[in-house]
Structure 1
Amino acid sequence: MSDLYAITLPDGSVREVPAGTTPGDIAAAIGPGLAKAALAARVNGELRDLNRPLEGDSALALVTARDEADALELVRHDYAHVLAEAVQALFPGTQITFGPSTDDGFYYDFAPKDRPFTEEDLPAIEAEMRRIIAADKPLVREVWPREQLIARWRAAGETFKAEWAAELPEGEELTVYRSGHDWLDMCRGPHLASTGKLDPQAFKLTRVSGAYWRGDQKNAMLSRIYGTGWLTKKQLDAHLFRLEEAAKRDHRKIGQEMDLFHLQSEAQGSVFWHPKGFVLWRQLEAYMRRRLDAAGYEEVKTPQLMDARQWEQSGHWGKYRENMFVVPDEIPSTEEEGPILSGKAELMALKPMNCPAHILIFKQGIKSYRDLPIRMAEFGCCHRNEPHGALHGIMRVRQFTQDDAHIFVREDQLIEEIKAFCDLLDSVYRDLGFEQYAIKLALRPEKRFGSEEMWDKAEQTLRDAVAAAGRATEAYGWEELPGEGAFYAPKLEFHLTDAIGRTWQVGTIQADTVLPERLDASYVGEDGQRHRPVMLHRAILGTFERFIGILIEHHAGRFPAWLAPVQAVVATIVSDADDYALSVVEKLRAAGIRAEADLRNEKINFKVREHSVAKVPNLLVIGKREAEEGTVALRPLGADARQEVLALDAAIARLVREGTPPDLARA
């Protein structure tokens, strides 16, 4: 066996190095700049420590801060370990459990000796973490024999770690990471070379909560400390700014300020839409209906309650049963208690989606190849029994309305239909104020229906359609997501970017041949034989509830004038102007403008503040002079907006122009 290993670098060059060489050694040999910048390495694709010796001929890529995804995962993992070390230094007797990285930071679960941790403890813990980082303690990987590691944890009083170590599979390599000489944790790694590689100003502990050991409420309650961690302080500051902005834009807060909706325990997971909120809903629905009509869709309405046999045949029963509302909610166990079919009682279920019902409409009457494509749309009310803890404002609910549609096509029509959908979706998003979105292709999941050939064809069709639409590019964030498809079809996902940089997965289109087969949908082809259509499941908004929540947060409640529940308020300065103000409101409404009058005996500054909080786009201020001259003082919403005195007809014309939906303005 040779004592030299052939190490292939990303540029294709090969270096021969002796056994025992580490990626860090190779970085140093290339140059001091790279040695300083290197954080970890990818060895044959696996992320590893810089100081872990190479084990044979390998492909090697050094990871630096430029490899942001890998770098962030590394530093967040390290921040979690430093957090655990700091807590045990400050609170002796505290047991450690798990501490993973998250999408924007990290957390660690602790079993405190005396009392649960509180947010008052966080400043001291942060200070101790910075001391550990400043000490630049080496992080060293060690492999321990199973029994020795279990004994080590038990001797240290770490019962949770001992329990976990004892349950890991036999033969699995058990590794720990030692921080300097005085602290260690069981971990697969990898880690940075030392704590000093972390930026002591690029993290912040954010909150404390309770958590059950291993997520089971029958187990011990732990204290979970959350933090956010980044590569630089600049990144941290940007993240904290986004959090602050997100709090200001919270759709629940703005929804209350604007009197749009409310939620309450009597209907958990369902929304009570107030008049102004439902005006917003209706404007959005009317806009979408016009766009669908123009695109050749036919609108349908299907039952909410359907026989469970239909859901069993479609395959949804096996996948969604626990999230479906079933009537009756108990299954009889014997034939005497109720009729049994296929091992189940004759049950009804509230629909969690619309697709099987649309196939039932498609199957009414014989369809010819000449009839296709058939574009069937429904603003369908659906129900899913989401866990209570998953509910979130109007973003995650149990009753929701989808802007759903299913397009039945021949195979030769697929590319053009998907391309047309992409173009429609692009136009809708831009009309609603979203200029940026990414497209992802979710590929076959592990558990799925259909043949490999079917999945190969469906996935390639989606690739080809996005390419034909000119959107399979870096500008659209094109990416493929292994294992993320639905059980019956791959799908394109459309991820919006909002005003503060957050992404929201909303639109989707799926190319499905499984449900038409399972539910026996067919058309008569040119050859006179029966053929299966391909069924495109597609949505642009996703659900009205969630999309309105996204709209609220994206616009911070300051909707485009055409969507605003109240487009103008006519506010008087003196009571002598009341009659004129009422006539102005009447003319505004006659012109199609959603207008209200504010004749209260309050100072005008008070009225301006109140309607600004309510995000009314335009305030028409009327005093004695305006009433005498037939004018209005038009004050648009915004700190920089200037008040302008206009003739009433000119003001109405401007408001009509600004309040016209974009699709009608283009007509």
Structure 2
Amino acid sequence: MDKELFENGGNKAFWHTTSHIMAQAVKRLFPDVKLAIGPATDSGFYYDFDTDSSLTGEDLPTIEKEMKNIIKQGYKIERFELSRSEALELMKDEPYKIELINELPEGEIISFYKQGEFVDLCAGPHLERVSEVKAFKLMSVTGAYWRGSEKNKMLRRIYGSSYPDREMLDARIKELEEAKMRDHNRLGRELELFTTSEYIGQGLPILMPKGARVIQILQRFVEDEEERRGYQLTKTPLMAKSDLYKISGHWYHYREGMFIMGNEDDKEVFALRPMTCPFQFQAYLSKMRSYRDLPIRYGETSTLFRNEASGEMHGLIRLRQFTISEGHIVCTPDQLEDEFRGCIDLANFMLKAVGLDEDVSYRFSKWDENNKDKYIGSQSEWEQVQNTMREILDHIGIKYTEADGEAAFYGPKLDIQIKNVHGKEDTLITIQIDFQLAERFEMEYTDADGTKKFPYVIHRTSIGCYERTLALLIEKYAGALPTWLAPVQARVLPISEKHFDYAKKVEEELKRNGIRVENDGRSEKIGYKIREAQKQKIPYMLVVGDKEAENNEVAVRSRKEGDKGAVSLSDFIAMIKTEINERVN
């Protein structure tokens, strides 16, 4: 496969084939291993194995050597189909394949791919020959629960990547090395932004003082901007009776993702909230509404709880408890486009403020008309609202892709997507059009003609999940957050003990001006203090000695520009305040 074909969609077949080559090598070396799944990913491939003898990183060179032997043998890759009974007989010694075959619908084509002695249940696609794989690298071995659930057995997952030539592979390895250096899961801990505890559990991070400060800055920024744009702040409970979720439909469409307290057969069953919408709807329902009251914009910094599978959680990206800038707009049909446009404008304003605006893409998420049980509402209603949303997006001029089956169960949405340093895409911000829940909750308004009508509801976030945003910012800036977001904006570094008094004076003056500052009063050499501050990614280091104390100055070392020399304390304060107020990234 040539480079152009690889880069224009052929990479998935290339990586999928390499995963089969790896699985064939593992089966040769460890015959008792049971095969699970081995898909292509966004940046390579993996295969999951069930083995009594633990596979480790030390086994990777041996597996790579056997993969090279397989590639040298140049097997042709052949596809064939079997009936269900024949497939079950062929895979009788592979329990995970048996489980997958049994789950296939009646009449579904059951296909296999064969290369040499190796056969795998697989839908494809693949290359024509194994010899087309010219360069590959196995990256790591980790544990992974079968199907991502901690209720299932822990398997061994081997990750790898492959390319048509060595140059492309070397470039990818370099990218991965840089990604490791930027990985928020490592950097966030080193910079004391967050930590985790196995006694608390997966997906439940502890924000350290510095991380909590960054989240606080973002929250205040979002809440102030939302207030400026006409949002009313609410504060709603973290839990509710199942009755509320039954009205909204979440009890029937999202219950597996909820934390339910007590026995479902009890008279009153409570559940932690996975969303805020039905809670804010109660604020709307507190009194009668007229068309003159609309639009009503509610905003809330909401803590939510979702029972994510353990295999899906990573650092701060996907959590079981998280905080989100959630809001709901209740509006008339005539107001829908302007309000939707306002939501996009707010989201883009936030993305630009934190410097992520050029890293996102837009996805129009629609329902799956072949799986109607996942949704509420009729086909004609869905088609009408999706056409309305498409017209709005086209009027705004946003470039977007369309994705079937990604809508919320009550309406289509615009997902603002972003990739982390490892290439995995997640939703950062979502804006949804809801044409169902207002009627379910009897959220009426009196129109100009005196009739009662149901409004549209726009579900939206301003900057998405704060923890995920923090993770992405750590990776974007390799931990060196912009000054306005940095938990510590400056550190005063006295050269010796005789300069401690002046250092304290500088610290107090900076604090009086609202600057987040630390004072390094340790009895260490100045070079060591500077290196420590640099490791902590602090934007400004202020060295103070005899000259600075005498002239009321600070010797400024910038994280970006290095030594900037001595300036008056008042000039430094004016400079850093301008940088903070203008939110320079």
Report the TM-score when normalising by structure 2. 0.90
Q: Which amino acid is the alignment partner of residue 300 of structure 2?
A: E
Q: Which amino acid is the alignment partner of residue 240 of structure 1?
A: I
Q: 2:572 aligns with which of 641, 647, 651?
A: 651
Which ranges of structure 1 fall in alignment gaps of 5 or more residues? 1-35, 38-63, 333-337, 339-344
2-structure distance, mates of 1:500, 1:243: 7
User: 2:555: which partner in 1?
Assistant: 633
SS at match of 1:267: coil
Which ranges of structure 2 fall in alignment gaps of 5 or more residues? none
Q: 1:347 aligns with which of 256, 269, 274?
A: 269
User: For the Cα contact (< 8 Å) 1:506–1:540, is it kept in 2?
Assistant: no
| Structure 1 residues 359 and 655, CA gap change in structure 2 (3 angstroms) | same
User: For the Cα contact (< 8 Å) 2:143–2:157, is it kept in 1?
Assistant: yes
User: 1:470: which partner in 2?
Assistant: 397
State the superposition RMSD in angstroms.
3.0
Q: 2:314 aligns with which of 392, 401, 404?
A: 392
Q: 1:104 aligns with which of 33, 43, 52?
A: 43
SS at match of 1:643: strand
2-structure distance, mates of 1:311, 1:196: 55
User: 1:623: which partner in 2?
Assistant: 545
| Structure 1 residues 397 and 213, CA gap change in structure 2 (3 angstroms) | closer
User: 2:26: which partner in 1?
Assistant: 87
User: For the Cα contact (< 8 Å) 2:331–2:457, is it kept in 1?
Assistant: yes
User: 1:433: which partner in 2?
Assistant: 355
User: 1:226: which partner in 2?
Assistant: 159
CA apart distance, 1:178? 3.7
Which is worse superposed, 140-149 or 128-137? 140-149
Q: 2:456 aligns with which of 517, 534, 557?
A: 534
User: For the Cα contact (< 8 Å) 2:492–2:544, is it kept in 1?
Assistant: yes
1-structure distance, mates of 2:312, 2:83: 40
User: 2:63: which partner in 1?
Assistant: 125
| Structure 1 residues 275 and 142, CA gap change in structure 2 (3 angstroms) | closer
2-structure distance, mates of 1:356, 1:253: 37
| Structure 1 residues 621 and 441, CA gap change in structure 2 (3 angstroms) | same
SS at match of 1:496: strand
Report the TM-score when normalising by structure 1. 0.79
Q: 1:251 aligns with which of 167, 175, 184?
A: 184
1:299 aligns with 2:233: yes
CA apart distance, 1:601? 1.0
Please tell me whether Structure 1 or Structure 2 has the larger radius of gyration of its CA atoms: 1
| Structure 1 residues 325 and 657, CA gap change in structure 2 (3 angstroms) | same
2-structure distance, mates of 1:648, 1:77: 60
Query: Once the two structures are superposed, what CA deviation does each residue of 1:406-426 show, in whole Å capped at 9, x if it has no partner?
Result: 001111111111112212211
| Structure 1 residues 165 and 606, CA gap change in structure 2 (3 angstroms) | closer
User: 1:27: which partner in 2?
Assistant: none
Query: Once the two structures are superposed, what CA deviation does each residue of 1:109-128 show, in whole Å capped at 9, x if it has no partner?
Result: 4466x844332221122122
User: 1:193: which partner in 2?
Assistant: 128
Q: Give the 5 Å matches for 1:42-121.
A: 65-66=4-5, 68=7, 70-91=9-30, 96=35, 98-110=37-49, 115-121=53-59
| Structure 1 residues 466 and 644, CA gap change in structure 2 (3 angstroms) | farther
SS at match of 1:244: helix
Query: Once the two structures are superposed, what CA deviation does each residue of 1:514-547 show, in whole Å capped at 9, x if it has no partner?
Result: 1101101011101110111100000022222222
| Structure 1 residues 537 and 145, CA gap change in structure 2 (3 angstroms) | closer
User: For the Cα contact (< 8 Å) 1:104–1:229, is it kept in 2?
Assistant: no
User: 2:344: which partner in 1?
Assistant: 422
2-structure distance, mates of 1:387, 1:151: 32
Q: Which amino acid is the alignment partner of residue 86 of structure 1?
A: A
SS at match of 2:5: coil
2-structure distance, mates of 1:121, 1:94: 14
2-structure distance, mates of 1:82, 1:635: 53
SS at match of 2:437: helix
Q: Give the 5 Å matches for 1:212-223.
A: 223=156
2-structure distance, mates of 1:162, 1:656: 62
2-structure distance, mates of 1:380, 1:187: 43
User: 1:205: which partner in 2?
Assistant: 138
User: 1:660: which partner in 2?
Assistant: 581
State the structure with bigger RCO (CA 8 A, min sep 6), 1 or 2: 2
1:457 aligns with 2:384: yes
User: For the Cα contact (< 8 Å) 1:71–1:231, is it kept in 2?
Assistant: no
CA apart distance, 1:582? 1.4
1-structure distance, mates of 2:334, 2:132: 56
User: For the Cα contact (< 8 Å) 2:150–2:309, is it kept in 1?
Assistant: no
User: For the Cα contact (< 8 Å) 2:179–2:421, is it kept in 1?
Assistant: no
2-structure distance, mates of 1:568, 1:413: 46
2-structure distance, mates of 1:264, 1:161: 32
1:408 aligns with 2:330: yes
Query: Once the two structures are superposed, what CA deviation does each residue of 1:587-619 show, in whole Å capped at 9, x if it has no partner?
Result: 212222112211221101111111112211100
Percentage identity across aligned positions? 37
SS at match of 1:642: strand
CA apart distance, 1:214? 7.6
User: For the Cα contact (< 8 Å) 1:251–1:552, is it kept in 2?
Assistant: yes
Q: Give the 5 Å matches for 1:263-412.
A: 263-268=196-201, 269-327=203-261, 329-332=262-265, 345-412=267-334
User: For the Cα contact (< 8 Å) 2:556–2:564, is it kept in 1?
Assistant: yes
1-structure distance, mates of 2:260, 2:100: 42
1-structure distance, mates of 2:72, 2:377: 56
Q: Give the 5 Å matches for 1:514-525.
A: 514-525=436-447
CA apart distance, 1:646? 1.0
CA apart distance, 1:552? 1.9
Which is worse superposed, 214-223 or 592-601? 214-223
| Structure 1 residues 82 and 494, CA gap change in structure 2 (3 angstroms) | same
SS at match of 2:556: strand
Q: Which amino acid is the alignment partner of residue 177 of structure 2?
A: E
User: For the Cα contact (< 8 Å) 1:419–1:468, is it kept in 2?
Assistant: no
2-structure distance, mates of 1:234, 1:295: 51
Which is worse superposed, 159-168 or 584-593? 159-168
Q: Which amino acid is the alignment partner of residue 385 of structure 2?
A: A
SS at match of 1:537: strand
2-structure distance, mates of 1:550, 1:394: 9
Q: Give the 5 Å matches for 1:9-28.
A: none
User: 1:18: which partner in 2?
Assistant: none
| Structure 1 residues 590 and 117, CA gap change in structure 2 (3 angstroms) | closer
| Structure 1 residues 164 and 405, CA gap change in structure 2 (3 angstroms) | closer
Q: Which amino acid is the alignment partner of residue 401 of structure 1?
A: T
| Structure 1 residues 530 and 67, CA gap change in structure 2 (3 angstroms) | farther
2-structure distance, mates of 1:516, 1:161: 44
Matched residue count: 577
2-structure distance, mates of 1:161, 1:306: 39
SS at match of 2:416: strand
SS at match of 2:533: helix
User: For the Cα contact (< 8 Å) 1:213–1:219, is it kept in 2?
Assistant: yes
1:613 aligns with 2:535: yes
2-structure distance, mates of 1:74, 1:575: 65
1-structure distance, mates of 2:298, 2:214: 24
Which is worse superposed, 79-88 or 290-299? 79-88
Q: Which amino acid is the alignment partner of residue 191 of structure 2?
A: M
Query: Once the two structures are superposed, what CA deviation does each residue of 1:317-372 show, in whole Å capped at 9, x if it has no partner?
Result: 11233333334x1244xxxxx6xxxxxx2222222211011111111222111211
Query: Once the two structures are superposed, what CA deviation does each residue of 1:387-431 show, in whole Å capped at 9, x if it has no partner?
Result: 444443333222222101100111111111111221221121011
Q: Which amino acid is the alignment partner of residue 12 of structure 2?
A: E
| Structure 1 residues 502 and 554, CA gap change in structure 2 (3 angstroms) | farther
